[in-house]
Every structure is written in structure tokens, then in C-alpha cells.
Amino acid sequence: MQIILDHVQAHLDHYIKTATDRVFNAKITLYRSFSYEQLETSIRYAYMAFVTDLNNGTVEAMPNFLLRIGPQRAEQGASVEDILFGINMGVEVISNDLNQTFESNPVALLWWMQRMHAIIYTGAMKLSDTILKTREQHIRDQASQIAEISTPIIPLSQGVLVVPLIGTLGEQRASRITEALLNRISEEQASTVLIDVTGVPVVDTQVAHHLIQSAQAAKLVGAEVLLVGIRPEMAQTLVQLGVNLQGVRTQGTLQAGVEYAFERQKQQAAKAYRRNF
């Protein structure tokens, strides 16, 4: 409705100033790190997007504005509630003025309420979605970083890698370990990998299956895998479960595995020397 549009446009600067004062004084957690000038600029952009949709009869500019700032605000630790609280303050500034100015024109006020709610509702949905996706990605990134830290792959010497496993070995973690191991084998041109299960509290059929898969995958890229650190009770459990470790070399301790790996390297070096001469 043109009468509303003209009035809002004419009083836009006043609305921005009033809204900035209110949000700044409200001490909302999100905006405490903002200077007054930064807050005013942010509110101005929000108003401009809102008024664009109001003038065009669309619900695009404001939702897209919130879609752009959502990831940024999520990184700052903002909640959807914090952002919407600030937006509601800005909308209230306009609503309060329009309710007084057009008190005798209910049709104009009804138009305003319908348009305002359509824009804000769509914007809130976009905002919630983008913040949720940003946080989910952040959680996935953190999980990946934690996984890398929790299972380091250590180059012991040229061609020998050690993978010390600590804690429960679930399907997702086993998959990440295998992927990381294959990459490191390729990068280091490793011929021998020692997987140390001393720190794994329980080795059951599922865990054994994951370890065998890792060994087979490593073999396909040219490395032999040794399973080291199998405790007597662990070995007994594997026998009782009927786990077939055929094709996977084992050593009782990490030291024994290291000695085997070094001896294997010497033998490979000797073979290469004989071939060359």
C-alpha cells in the first residue's frame, strides 16, 4: 500500500537511529562487541533489505540478507534468538509509529502487518537453516580434527609407520583411520605399518574385522601391516570368537614389531642391492 511505503521511506533514517539506540542499550549478548557505529551500519543494511521487499512485494532481499550474515553470526557464537530479538526491535520501531500515524486506517495497518509478517517469517526460517548448517559443519570439522589428534600416524623411520590406537574403535573411526593411513602410506612411501592395539580396551569380532580391513587395504597399496600389542586375554578372546587373522602378521609387543620392521627393511635393502649389482 503506497501510503505506508511513502511514510516508511520518509522516516527511514529516524527508524534506523531509534532502533540502533534500543538495541545498543538492550545489551544483547551478540551485539556487546559492536561499537555504536558498527551496530548502526548493520541495522541500516537490515532495514534497507526489509524496505526493498516491502516496496517490491517480495520476500527475497531480507531473507537473503539474513542468509548472508547467518554464518558470520554463527561464528561469533550468536543464537537465532539473539538475532531475531534485534530484528523484532527494529520492526517494533516501525510498527509503533505506523499504529499511531494510521490509527484511523485499519486497512493500511492490516496490509502492513501481513507484509511484515511474511518477510520476517521467511527471513527467520532462512536464518535458522543457515545457522544450523554452519554449526553442523563446525561440529563435523571439530570431530575430524579430534579424530586426527586421537589417532596419530607416526613415521618411525624411512618406510615405517606406527599407528597407536587408544580407546574404542567404532565403524566411523575405523573408516577414518584406514583412509588417513592409506594417504600416509602413499605420502611416506611406507612399506611397513605397525598398528598398536595396546590401548584398545576390547577387541571383539567387529574391531578385528576393521583391523583386518585396514591391513588388506594397506597391502593393496604396497605396505605390510603388523598387529602389535595383543595381550594374552585379547588373544584368547579372538580365539573364542573364531576371528580369522590369517594373512595378518602379529607381534606381542611394539618393540618386537619394530625389530621385525627394521629387519624387514634390511632384507629389502639387501635384495635391492643384489638386483642392482
What pLDDT does residue 17 have? 94
Task: Give yes or no: residues 9 and 106 share one domain.
Answer: yes
What pLDDT does residue 45 have? 93
Domain, as residue range, for 168: 154-276
Task: Give yes or no: residues 114 and 226 share one domain.
Answer: no
Task: Give yes or no: residues 178 and 258 share one domain.
Answer: yes
Task: Give yes or no: residues 114 and 166 share one domain.
Answer: no
Which residues are 164's β-sheet partners?
196
What pLDDT does residue 145 have? 60
Quick one: 250 exposed, middle or buried, by C-beta within 10 A (0-12, 13-18, 19+)?
middle
Q: Are 195 and 228 in contact (CB under 8 A)?
A: yes
Say which DSSP state 29 is in. G
Which residues are 196's β-sheet partners?
164, 228
CATH number of the domain encompassing residue 65: 1.10.490
Q: Which residues have CB under 8 Å from 265's CB, separation 6+?
A: 157, 158, 159, 160, 191, 192
Report how far Cα 18 is from the mean position of its chain's Cα atoms: 38
- Beta strands per DSSP E along the chain: 154-157, 160-166, 192-199, 224-228, 249-251
Q: Are 22 and 88 in contact (CB under 8 A)?
A: no
Quick one: 229 exposed, middle or buried, by C-beta within 10 A (0-12, 13-18, 19+)?
buried
27: left (phi over 0), alpha (psi -120 to 50) or beta: left
Q: Are 54 and 8 in contact (CB under 8 A)?
A: yes
Task: Give yes or no: residues 139 and 9 share one domain.
Answer: yes
Task: Give yes or no: residues 129 and 183 share one domain.
Answer: no
Domain C-terminal end among 148, 167, 198:
148
How many domains, the chain? Answer: 2
What pLDDT does residue 53 have? 93
Quick one: 152 exposed, middle or buried, by C-beta within 10 A (0-12, 13-18, 19+)?
exposed
Helix (H, G, I), strand (E, B) or coil at 248: coil
Q: In the numeric block, which cell numbers belong to residue 182?
A: 592409506
> Cα separation of 131 and 133, whole Å?
5
Q: Which residues have CB under 8 Å from 69's CB, separation 6+?
A: 42
Sheet strands side by side (includes 249-251): 154-157, 160-166, 192-199, 224-228, 249-251
| Euclidean distance between the first and the last CA atom of the chain, given in angstroms as a whole number | 94
List of the chain residues with pLDDT < 70? 139-151, 246-247, 269-277
What pLDDT does residue 40 have? 93
Task: Give yes or no: residues 123 and 178 share one domain.
Answer: no
Task: Give yes or no: residues 126 and 226 share one domain.
Answer: no
What pLDDT does residue 180 have? 86
Strand 154-157 and strand 160-166: pairing? antiparallel
What pLDDT does residue 275 have? 63
Task: Give yes or no: residues 144 and 23 share one domain.
Answer: yes
Helix (H, G, I), strand (E, B) or coil at 253: coil
What pLDDT does residue 149 have? 56
